[in-house]
Amino acid sequence: MLTELLKNKHLILASGSPRRHHFLKELGLNFEIRLKEIEENYPSNLKGEEITDFLAKLKAKPFEGELKTNDILITADTIVWLENKAIGKPKNKSEAKLMLAHLSDKTHTVISSVCLTTIKVQILINDSTKVKFKPLSNSEIEYYINNFKPLDKAGSYGIQEWIGYIGIEKIEGSYFNVMGFPIHKFYEEISKLS
């Protein structure tokens, strides 16, 4: 359905996330992956979705002046929000272990923003999902870190992986948003750009 709507558009996904690639493919979309290096810094006064909104827009900046009439640029950002602090991706395994231990037996919020940019308009969407972890043992955390890839994920975990299966007691909101892409909102907004 979207393929037909967007047949005259050229989609550019500026994300290296395998999950985001998968979602666009599953929607039947043809897209080009175009990555640009960017320092993911944001003003310290920003909170929650203000951070992901700012970063999703910031990731579109390097493409200014490059977009053609039929291009739609897709940029996105995801954070874990816990105790009034943003948790991004871990730098190494020991940081991943600390993050997961901190999330253990608590409810956090996963916030994702997506920015759709054309030469005429920029649309920003975001979504929040509450996630409750059971108490995680050190051995469960170690097993996950040693057998999966926590380093490319906000908060050091993928809900669709082993730690999600055994550790998540409850979610309120979109499951796919926790994977880094509020696909239901994306579908609604990109449909309007046909």
53, 77, 105, 152: which one is catalytic?
Answer: 77
- In this predicted structure, the answer to whether residue 155 has a pLDDT above a threshold of 90 is yes
Strands 31-33 and 10-13, how do they pair?
parallel
Contact 156, 167 (CB under 8 A): no
Task: For 105-122, write each residue's pLDDT tens digit.
Answer: 999 999 999 999 999 999
Domains in the chain, please, with CATH? Answer: 2-191 (3.90.950.10)
- In this predicted structure, the answer to whether residue 27 has a pLDDT above a threshold of 80 is yes
- Find the Cα–Cα–Cα–Cα dihedral 136, 142, 145, 147, rounded to 10°: -110
Beta-bridge partner residues of 13 = 33, 74
The pLDDT > 70 percentage for the chain reads 100
Task: For 33-69, write each residue's pLDDT tens digit.
Answer: 999 999 989 999 999 999 999 999 999 999 999 999 9
Whole-number Å distance between alpha carbons of 116 and 76? 9
Computed over every residue of the chain, the mean pLDDT equals 95
Is 77 part of the annotated catalytic residue set?
Answer: yes
The residue with tokens 């929000």 is 81
pTM score over 0.85: yes
Burial of 140: CB neighbours in 10 Å, binned 0-12, 13-18, 19+:
middle
Whole-number Å distance between alpha carbons of 60 and 36? 9
